[in-house]
Structure 1
């Protein structure tokens, strides 16, 4: 239906006289009956809004510091029917301004939004670098950055939503049950916009990735396969070219706003406003006020304004935006970027509001700390000394990730090597619910695991074996299955996020089909596929009891047990054959039972001893 056209399904006339109203639509049937509309239009503060629609009432109208904003508090009663209505803005001696707004019916119940859990395995994708499914959307004349240059690691390469859709069978066949994509919203920056974390419109899919309909199609096709879509969201900051940065609604909409407005033209030279990254101030009882302020109020970088969630209108805007995306694209989870940087009390409110509406949903938060005490603080149910309750289901397990790398790189001794992961897993006593932590060998912000393990294929398999059998939610970065690496410049973000071979029509190597891959790459792909597809149906790995034995002679053994299924992981760092005494594990009740190697399908009778011929991982199960 075009603007000003009569809607045949109602008595109203569709009009859209207002430049911007957000959220751009809403739904009936939420537990929280309140809705706050952000209205942006020249001098709109001098106009008075009116609504005549059964069940919808205006509770309060707020003027902002800028005359170009209104914030309208609505109440949507539980008897309100879905439909369209007009918001009429009136001003003496002026023609009315009319904006048609829609309340939709919810497509499924709140309880049916089921998030990810320990039965899932998540595939992380940087969409610009995965696959270019629609070259027609590579450039947008309306956006600042227009260059597609695959030779430049920090330019746009053209990957998009259609590229992910085209290769869902590949991801599904590997054994993944969920996809976390780096942000797909518009990043209208002048350069380096490919990563997605400098959002300039919270209600728009970046045209270079596709359309909102493409995003919905991705979600629906994943649902058909029983897969979950996880959205990467950013509450801490936006991009400097966000539309509101030229006309901020309040004097405290962003942090250090006064400094910014005085120095817009040379803002990048002001280093005094960036965060100190001292995330421990959120827990530290001795932290100074200035350190707390610099951490939580400071900008992440000069190109990403720090949003002030202490402003109640910003807080409401952010919460509503998250809920809007859950409903619009049928999300199976949210990954929240830079979790400890915003105001922590707001983050509790944000997560709490989502979990209140969607009790079976999941949120994972990024806290890049290697201290389990710090990471555990952020999980819902933590017994925190300051009484803080986060409402966050899943922190990211950066402590264990680092320990896995150290354990496999170090020489074996009493306190180095495999004992690192043995003692690291012992830290689970501190966590409220360890199996809700997200574990990963690498991600979009760190060197590939193959690089971290110095190009050792066997060690890489050992790392993946451990990640996928732990009582955790595993996440694997795209390309890990084919030994992608960043040897040329370890840690370089552009290189970490390299193009997936086969995602572009002129690629000579195609990892989706196997064409051009080395034997090592094919072997790793098959290895991961076997482990993931076994894991998909393993109750022992999803929900089983965990028992592990202290490493001895360079061998570490971990058991996962659920009813009649036992999974055994053996990590062996010995280059020469070694005999493993199985009598040590008598308490596991496996004596004389037949187990199966899930990689080779070979049978193993658990009796007396087991010869480990070479360094590597062995995964055995009592069930095929």
Structure 2
């Protein structure tokens, strides 16, 4: 009996010892990968207690370990794998050992890649992008409004609180977007943001591989992409590489001491993005822009650390493959380390040569913005590899041009002058153009509620060069100002919640004025969709006169004449001035009204405060 008890104790001791020596793998990212990628290299971030002291091995045909990278943090190691062409989809174990003794294993999966995934077509000038802030669009699944473990709970009465919009709400209204004529959908970030307040915008990400549970799941996001694709709508993911959330899981145990920028005391970015290409810039100002924190809840990531930038390259590629994305938008682009981001954009575009990536380049002048576009001729030889930039210069011109009287440099001449600097851009068709977004006031508030001004602006936005983006609610005249505490910032879309008294997703739920705006945009967007001349046709414009701005889009098949007429009085437009563009055309059919204009008489009559789009014959 005593021997038996001793034996039991010995078994228990050795079992406990064996258990105590086991390594607990807390996290491996990316969680899985794909075979047949253009780049055969994959770097796994492995997190576990004292994991850095262990050796790692794999035994799977076509997969080998190229090296192990450790940092000054014992709970991390980075495993460099090479996945040969021809390697088969399947699972294998990562074996962790010490002195030849196995301590742990982790099952890893390589998935089959979607057919022709590398050649996926991204959004371009043939698209119209619709921007949604998901929390404020539609609540399709009330069961996820507040989630255990997530700090910020539902509070729809609070302008800065979570209102409950989610992925299912977007899916529920994809038919509405299709009817409107939208062909690309950009949502502000849907990844987890577990900050205790103002988390609804999700620009402070706490887990880069997880959709926020209050929006849904990773599977829901992939389903949104699939359902959008069925309707001819590409899905664009909003990516944040400059900063993470102070609530990010790794902030309790950084992968490396220099994973984020650390200062003796808290240091905010000076937000002087012009330091990027300033030939006279001081080092202290330059570094404060790039290395300072965007906000005290948003630690600034150090992209100069190759492990950091590689993490984000792989994270972006992972989401493109997993959710079958049609493009990427990168937040706060000029705050990132510019050399690292050239690697980021270049590597992703090598994997997907027909994709598109737009960077948020919030700068005022075309010279500053053009610096960030791929192939720009820059004084320092810098090439960003970033295909598309956001044209904030034209944005500023649009928001002023329709609200002021004509002068030497005011009114419609602002549009002309902004476009006159297009020679600075190497790829003018690949400019992201917009008159409002989630960071600005609502367009109808800026336009003082004037629907004629809206029609003018939308006519211009949707017929000039570039990739137009409209913001959720423009089509129903939503108003609101970007000022803290006014209760109108980032307002909810009426009808997105079951309790809403009004449902603007339906014609019956809209006022006659809202239907006028919706129908106008619907016709214009759907016409634009079918007219490549507007996507890539040559642009020729004429200096505005008498509150009228005239320009032409032309290709081998078609010529379109656009007249933006702000004049409050009826006027005759002398056509002789435009003979270079009119050529032998003698008539034109107005796109929105179907009215025929006779051009043979040398002039046309313009109704007061009316824009026209003529398909020339």
Give the TM-score, by structure 2 length: 0.94
Question: Which of 446, 454, 460 lines up with 1:452 in the alignment?
Answer: 446
**Cα distance in 1 for residues equivalent to 2:73 and 2:323:** 33
Aligned counterparts, 1:68-87, within 5 A: 68-87=75-94
Question: Which of 443, 459, 462 lines up with 1:465 in the alignment?
Answer: 459
Question: Which of 415, 433, 450 lines up with 1:421 in the alignment?
Answer: 415
Aligned counterparts, 1:479-558, within 5 A: 479-486=473-480, 490=483, 495-558=488-551
Distance change >3 Å, CA 494–CA 390, structure 1 → 2: farther
**Cα distance in 2 for residues equivalent to 1:435 and 1:496:** 32
Aligned counterparts, 1:138-157, within 5 A: 138-146=145-153, 148-157=154-163
Which residue does the alignment assign to 2:283?
A: 289
**Unmatched runs of 5 consecutive residues or more in structure 1:** 1-14, 260-269
Which residue does the alignment assign to 1:410?
A: 404
Looking at CA atoms only, which structure, 1 or 2, has the larger radius of gyration? 2
- SS class of match (2:176): helix
CA deviations on 1:437-491 (whole Å, 9 max, x unpaired) are: 000010000011111222222111111110100111000000011111115x657
Which residue does the alignment assign to 1:386?
A: 380
- SS class of match (1:19): strand
1:94 offset after TM fit, Å? 7.0
Is residue 2:71 matched to residue 1:64?
A: yes
**Cα distance in 2 for residues equivalent to 1:493 and 1:444:** 15
Which residue does the alignment assign to 2:137?
A: 130
**Cα distance in 2 for residues equivalent to 1:618 and 1:496:** 33
- SS class of match (2:220): helix
- Work out whether residues 509 and 515 of structure 1, in 8 Å CA contact, stay in contact via their aligned partners in 2: no
Distance change >3 Å, CA 517–CA 106, structure 1 → 2: same
Question: Which of 568, 587, 594 lines up with 1:594 in the alignment?
Answer: 587
Distance change >3 Å, CA 493–CA 124, structure 1 → 2: farther
**Cα distance in 2 for residues equivalent to 1:494 and 1:345:** 40
Identify the range of structure 1 (74-83 vs 231-240) with the bigger mean alpha-carbon deviation. Answer: 74-83
Aligned counterparts, 1:75-224, within 5 A: 75-91=82-98, 96-146=103-153, 148-224=154-230
Identify the range of structure 1 (406-415 vs 497-506) with the bigger mean alpha-carbon deviation. Answer: 406-415
Which residue does the alignment assign to 1:5?
A: none
1:110 offset after TM fit, Å? 4.1
Is residue 2:558 matched to residue 1:573?
A: no
**Cα distance in 1 for residues equivalent to 2:486 and 2:357:** 25
1:223 offset after TM fit, Å? 1.4
1:553 offset after TM fit, Å? 1.1
- Work out whether residues 545 and 560 of structure 1, in 8 Å CA contact, stay in contact via their aligned partners in 2: yes
Which residue does the alignment assign to 2:16?
A: none
Question: Which of 332, 335, 346 lines up with 1:338 in the alignment?
Answer: 332
Distance change >3 Å, CA 309–CA 601, structure 1 → 2: same
Which residue does the alignment assign to 1:12?
A: none
1:566 offset after TM fit, Å? 1.7
Is residue 2:35 matched to residue 1:28?
A: yes
**Cα distance in 2 for residues equivalent to 1:459 and 1:591:** 32
Distance change >3 Å, CA 191–CA 395, structure 1 → 2: same
**Cα distance in 1 for residues equivalent to 2:599 and 2:452:** 24
CA deviations on 1:251-308 (whole Å, 9 max, x unpaired) are: 101001x64xxxxxxxxxx6x5110011011101100000011000000000000000
**Unmatched runs of 5 consecutive residues or more in structure 2:** 1-21
Which residue does the alignment assign to 2:321?
A: 327
Task: Count residues in correspondence.
Answer: 595
**Cα distance in 2 for residues equivalent to 1:183 and 1:159:** 13
Which residue does the alignment assign to 2:294?
A: 300
Identify the range of structure 1 (504-513 vs 110-119) with the bigger mean alpha-carbon deviation. Answer: 110-119
Identify the range of structure 1 (408-417 vs 20-29) with the bigger mean alpha-carbon deviation. Answer: 408-417
**Cα distance in 2 for residues equivalent to 1:591 and 1:500:** 48
- SS class of match (1:454): coil
Supply the RMSD in Å over aligned alpha carbons: 1.8
CA deviations on 1:97-143 (whole Å, 9 max, x unpaired) are: 11100011111224431111110000000001111111111111021
Distance change >3 Å, CA 172–CA 448, structure 1 → 2: same
Runs of 4+ in 1 over 4 A off after TM superposition: 92-95, 489-494
- Work out whether residues 594 and 603 of structure 1, in 8 Å CA contact, stay in contact via their aligned partners in 2: yes
